[in-house]
Amino acid sequence: MNRPGKGTLVPDFAGLSAALQESADQMDAALERLLPVAAGLQGRVQEAMRYAVFAGGKRLRPFLMIQSAGLFGVPAERALRAAAAIECVHTYSLVHDDLPCMDDDDLRRGRPTTHKAFDEATAVLAGDALLTLAFEILAEVETHPSGEVRARLVSELARASGSNGMIGGQMIDIEAPNHAFGEDEVILLQRLKTGALFEFCCVAGPILAEAGAEHETRLRAYARDFGLVFQITDDLLDVLSTAEKTGKAVGKDADQGKATLVSLLGIERARERAEALANSASQLLTSYGEPAALLQALPVYLLNRER
């Protein structure tokens, strides 16, 4: 998987890898501050929130958010708070998706899922509390001095993660085995289930900077291309990788009869599509110059990652 595709530039992967790690460390420190300390009789749910959040995730969404904020000179603390809110939403969605009544997964990143480490009731509540905390973080004045900006962030995150966003995508995903999805439905599913939150990650930068609609539109377009690259990469890994490398059951989607762009287009055409999208995403950001280099490299990096 390490060879770059035809016509794809080879970006500075070592630099990107280091930047991802640095950003993840900053994110962990911010989350450490922002998550409630387990205390009192309700401490168990707060322990479960921390267990779920500090699970060794790559913090890809915070990276997108922090990089998009960096294009507009947003102060680090504000970007980190918005990124923390995103990671709370992402984590809650994993905790609930792993529940026995949903994907019924016992392991995530090689360790017990939250409902296995605690219990189902605590996992439901921890997910609920993480979702709630995301909005609390965004709404507080430390996120931005302007109430208009904070309310805008809340509104955008709620739309991205609501019944016509991420939750809607999860609903479609659950229903998927009952339908014969074509390319349009698979792309819609991806745009809702994972794409909407990626869009929020990227548009939160220009919103925090009050940079205006034109920048928001451009970052959203980048996020859409990025999201599809991310999904195709994930589907390719699902088909090609070994269980050892990804730490989860391989070919699970295919086993469940779920259509993916890879199953619909075939491996080679899906990879070509992803390469074209990675290039398109990169080109959308050329006007930002050097500060956009990492965002431009990221989709190609994903597509070439070993895991």
Residue number, 140 or 255, with CB nearest to a copy of itself: 140
Q: CA 209, CA 201: separation in Å to the nearest integer?
A: 14
Q: Determine, following the binding rule CB under 8 A, whether residue 41 of this chain makes contact with a copy of itself.
A: yes
Q: Which of 1, 117, 171, 221 binds a copy of itself (CB under 8 A)?
A: 171
Q: CA 81, CA 78: separation in Å to the nearest integer?
A: 5
Q: CA 23, CA 19: separation in Å to the nearest integer?
A: 6
Residue number, 149 or 292, with CB nearest to a copy of itself: 149
| Nearest distance in Å: CB 124, a copy of itself | 6
| Nearest distance in Å: CB 147, a copy of itself | 3
Residue number, 189 or 236, with CB nearest to a copy of itself: 189
Q: Determine, following the binding rule CB under 8 A, whether residue 174 of this chain makes contact with a copy of itself.
A: yes
Work out the end-to-end distance of the chain between its first and last CA atoms, rounded to an integer number of angstroms. Answer: 9
- Closest to 296 in 3D by CA, of 76, 75, 87, 9: 9
Total of residues contacting a copy of itself (CB under 8 A): 60
| Nearest distance in Å: CB 193, a copy of itself | 10
Q: Which of 19, 53, 60, 154 binds a copy of itself (CB under 8 A)?
A: 154
Q: How far is CA 181 from CA 54, 103, 223, 225, in A?
A: 35, 19, 23, 21
Q: Determine, following the binding rule CB under 8 A, whether residue 192 of this chain makes contact with a copy of itself.
A: yes
Helix (H, G, I), strand (E, B) or coil at 257: coil
Q: Determine, following the binding rule CB under 8 A, whether residue 128 of this chain makes contact with a copy of itself.
A: yes
Q: Which of 162, 177, 247, 291 binds a copy of itself (CB under 8 A)?
A: 162
| Nearest distance in Å: CB 23, a copy of itself | 26
- 76-97 and 13-34 helices cross at what angle (nearest 10)? 80
User: Which residue is associated with the tokens 């805008």?
Assistant: 152
Whether the Cβ atoms of residue 89 and residue 95 lie closer than 8 Å to each other: no
Residues 97, 137, 87, 149: what is their CA dihedral angle, to the nearest 10 degrees?
Answer: 110
Q: CA 160, CA 255: separation in Å to the nearest integer?
A: 29
Q: Which of 4, 13, 24, 36 binds a copy of itself (CB under 8 A)?
A: 36
Q: Determine, following the binding rule CB under 8 A, whether residue 210 of this chain makes contact with a copy of itself.
A: no
Which among 5-13, 169-177, 252-260, 277-285 is the span making contact with a copy of itself, rule CB under 8 A? 169-177
For the beta carbon of residue 271, count every other beta carbon within 10 angstroms: 18
The dihedrals phi and psi of 108, each to the nearest 5 degrees, come to -145, 130
**Residues between 86 and 125 that touch a copy of itself (CB under 8 A):** 92, 96, 99, 101-102, 119-122, 124-125
Whether the Cβ atoms of residue 106 and residue 122 lie closer than 8 Å to each other: no
Q: Determine, following the binding rule CB under 8 A, whether residue 45 of this chain makes contact with a copy of itself.
A: yes
User: Which residue is associated with the tokens 């014969």?
Assistant: 180
Q: Determine, following the binding rule CB under 8 A, whether residue 189 of this chain makes contact with a copy of itself.
A: yes
Positions touching a copy of itself (CB under 8 A) are 36, 40-42, 44-46, 49, 92, 96, 99, 101-102, 119-122, 124-125, 127-129, 131-133, 135-136, 138-141, 146-152, 154-155, 157-159, 161-164, 167-172, 174-175, 179, 185, 188-189, 192
